[in-house]
Amino acid sequence: MTEYRAPLDDMRFVLNELADLDAVAQLPGFEEVFPDLVDAILEQAGKLGAEVLAPLNRSGDIEGCQLENGVVRTPKGFPEAYVQFIEGGWNGVPFDPDYGGQGLPYLVTTAVYEIWHAANMALALCPTLTQAAVELLSVHGSDGLKAVFMEKLVSGVWTGTMNLTESQAGSDLSQIRTQAVREGERYLITGQKIFISHGEHDFTENIVHMVLARTPDGADGIKGLSLFVVPKFLVKDDGALGDRNDLRCVSLEHKMGINASPTCVMSFGDDGGAEAYLVGEENRGIEYMFTMMNNARLAIGLEGVGVAERAYQHARDYAAERKQGQALDGTDESVAIDRHPDVRRMLLSMRAQTEATRALAYYVAAALDAAKRHENEGIRKESQALVDLLVPVVKAWSTDTGIEVANTGIQVLGGAGYIEESGAPQFLRDIRVAAIYEGTNGIQAMDLIGRKVAREDGVTAQALIADMRALDGPLAEAQGEDTGDDTGAIRESLTEAVDALAEATDWIVATHPENPEAVAAGAVPYLRLLGLVAGGWLMAKAALAAGRLSAAGGDDGGNDGRDQEFLAKKIVSARFYADHLLIQAPALSRTVTRGWNAVGRFS
């Protein structure tokens, strides 16, 4: 399998030119976030990803996890790799230094986590959930819970999980039956949860479960759910581990992919009840859990970005070496298949889509930093609204794109791509689940059109569209200076795409109050439309930045460390995106507004 190399040049480009790392570094608390520091962090993360995590990806997939007498054994090398991960301080990158964290922006964290997911998605799932648990306790945990759990979770010495799903409930959390009965200052939990990633493993001595359960007097439906902290081992007053709690893994799921990540069926209270501690107030569990779920959804979107990058590198390197067929220019001898136009098209589609999803994920991460830290309350609120709008897009569009890119990678390899030994099938098998868990992509789309667009009359979506339209002036100016037609073609496609997005958004706002079913029928196409256009907007900005940097570099290539070849490739990616992908926007808009006609008559 091709060795993974973190795409540091593109990551730096997106951080600086599209996500505005300089502006993030001006936020309170980030004054020490200098470019040299960020470069050093990315270099070290890339080294760990390439040298420690990536080599285990294939072997972990083959070996898988084993459950023996209630103990889960992860594949060879995984526990040791996790130790290296936490000893490097990587688990606490975005968190409060008071609890041992690094206190770095989510923007930097996002770039780092892309590397983990690209290198080894199965292993990276564990710290992803731990970080979500830390975020939850940071916002909603009591001082007592923070004192017991935060430092160990931030460091990664203990790991966290999220326990929502039950066999009869699935995505409908209103059907949860797990019970929590109060006994003094604690609660006793009884019930069973399924699909619990890293619910049991051999990485750490303790696992801290976040569990949704219903108290006896809790109302029916989601409003009666509360959230509890349920540690695998109870914690004594002095912080030492005490008795084993009444919970256990009763089976492992046999999955299509991410075989090195144990997906557990967890049973609570087989011997009377697992001791648990209430987070916040009773009956507010869903509200609290959404803090954790939104964090996780952003991270899942990054899985799409990371696996897409890994699949692209794999296909690109294979195509450069595999000789087959003659070139269309009349060359008699066999040529590498990346000389053939259709293979070039496939590779460019993989590269351009990966770059677009990366750009959107980093852009949203920067908005999250502003929402949490900006001194201006109005900007904090606007930034949070933007994050809320785009979280389902990052999660769903990025993972759908990751699936498409991994699938295309198999096609580039041809017959070899269908053989497991090539490594290409694993990328598709692994990323396929990302469109399903943490809320299926259809649920993300319903959330987007209902709670994020229709409920606020499209205010945030229209503000984003206005930002997109504002790029027309700079594109027009660059078009006048450009000797080629790249900028003009990008501008034309972007204008049509933004108009299509605006039309679909206006239709959703007007139609939803009277006919929510019609809007729901077009929810998935609308989410794809928004992701496609937002990605195209950022790709257009990337082309402008690349052109500016290239011109500033002159003949000596002195463009802030970026060589002319890299910048030229950025423009090519943007042009391909405009010609092959962004032009799909008007058709998607028509699907959004007309799709109900046949769907409503399905029988």
Distance separating alpha carbons of residues 432 and 399, to the nearest angstrom? 8
Q: Which of 364, 556, 390, 571 is CA-nearest to residue 478?
A: 571
CA atoms of 284 and 373, how far apart (whole Å)? 26
**Which segments of 202-346 are extended strands (E)?**
206-214, 225-231, 233-235, 241-244, 247-252, 263-268, 274-278, 323-326, 334-336
- In one-letter notation, the amino acid at residue 277 is Y
**Residue 107 CB coordination number (10 Å):** 31
DSSP string for residues in 463-481: HHHHHHHTTHHHHHHHHHH
CA-based max dimension of the chain: 84
Distance (Å, rounded) from C-alpha 202 to C-alpha 261? 11
The answer to whether 438 is a known catalytic residue is yes
Helix locations, 327-431, DSSP H: 341-373, 377-413, 424-431
Contacts 24+ apart (CB under 8 A), 556-564: 562/9, 562/12, 562/13
Q: What are phi and psi of 138, to 5 degrees?
A: -60, -35
Distance between CA atoms of 239 and 416, rounded to whole angstroms? 53
Q: What are phi and psi of 344, to 5 degrees?
A: -60, -40
d(CA 134, CA 143): 13
For the stretch 235-238, contacts whose Cβ atoms lie closer than 8 Å and that sit 24 or more positions apart, written own/partner, are 235/148, 235/149, 235/206
In DSSP terms, 68 is beta-bridged to: 71
Given 438, 492, 496, 565, the catalytic residue = 438
To which residue do tokens 């460019």 refer?
348
Residue 517 CB-density burial (10 A; 0-12 exposed, 13-18 middle, 19+ buried): exposed
Phi, psi (5° rounding) for residue 284? -120, 25
Angle at the Cα of 141 from the Cα atoms of 136 and 142, rounded to 5 degrees: 170
Radius of gyration, CA atoms only, the chain: 24
What DSSP designation does 7 have? -
Residue 193 burial (CB count, 10 A): 27
Quick one: DSSP state of residue 224? G
Distance, in Å, from the CA atom of 3 to the CA atom of 21, rounded to the nearest integer, reads: 29
Burial of 182 (0-12, 13-18, 19+ CB in 10 A): middle
Active site residues: 438
